[in-house]
Chains A and B, each alone.
Chain A
Amino acid sequence: GDSVTQMEGPVTLSEEAFLTINCTYTATGYPSLFWYVQYPGEGLQLLLKATKADDKGSNKGFEATYRKETTSFHLEKGSVQVSDSAVYFCALSVSQGGTYKYIFGTGTRLKVLA
């Protein structure tokens, strides 16, 4: 079935370090891919998305490229800040039976130390 697998956390980094959070997926159709972020005490909010192969989503210095050949959508940022501390969710949406199904990963907690 359709699924999303992302790296387990927590991930602890020093400020200005490089960040990678891995995400791979399986899907029976041609999915759209998303990264959502959840800051403490808040709901999930969209960070970036990509809807077709080789698309790059970007926002707030974060980037992820839709890699169909490796079924991956890894999240990267060149220099993290303390304010990036949050939980990051990889997700996909895919057509199923005339509607769309959304599937979320388990979330990866990022802690950035000053």
Chain B
Amino acid sequence: NAGVTQTPKFRILKIGQSMTLQCTQDMNHNYMYWYRQDPGMGLKLIYYSVGAGITDKGEVPNGYNVSRSTTEDFPLRLELAAPSQTSVYFCASSYGRGRGIEQYFGPGTRLTVT
């Protein structure tokens, strides 16, 4: 099992450009999540999905979009990149969302917007 994979590992964008961060999991998990981590801060939830075709906003969704056409894939789209979106982005998955259930994380994508 590869677990949760993310691409790319690093990316530099110019202000106003767009890009898609890819996330794939091979554990057949229904739940998937996108977080961002800013320096000195905890992880903040951007979007999550409870299954194919179902997504919902987290704490900080502005400036992002997601889709979930398959169980495996959960891409995050940045439209009109802004410097405030400079961050490390983590994708995660879990088999459920309940008491004591852990999340499995990808290695992260470090994004810089200049």
Contact = CB atoms under 8 A, between A and B. Distances in A.
Contacts of B108: 43
A93 B4 contact: no
A51 B98 CA distance: 11
Nearest to A42: B107
Given A43-B107, A43-B108, A44-B90, A49 B102 contact: yes
A32 B103 CA distance: 13
Interface string A59-74: 0000000000000000
Interface in A29-78: 32, 34, 36, 41-46, 49, 51
B90 A93 contact: no
Given A43-B106, A44-B90, A104 B101 contact: no
B99 A107 contact: no
Contacts of B100: 32, 49, 51, 93
Nearest to B98: A100
18 contacts: A36-B105, A43-B90, A44-B103, A44-B105, A51-B100, A89-B42, A93-B100, A93-B101, A99-B97, A100-B97, A100-B98, A102-B33, A102-B103, A103-B42, A104-B35, A104-B43, A105-B42, A107-B42
Interface of B: 4, 6, 33, 35, 40-43, 45, 90, 92, 97-108
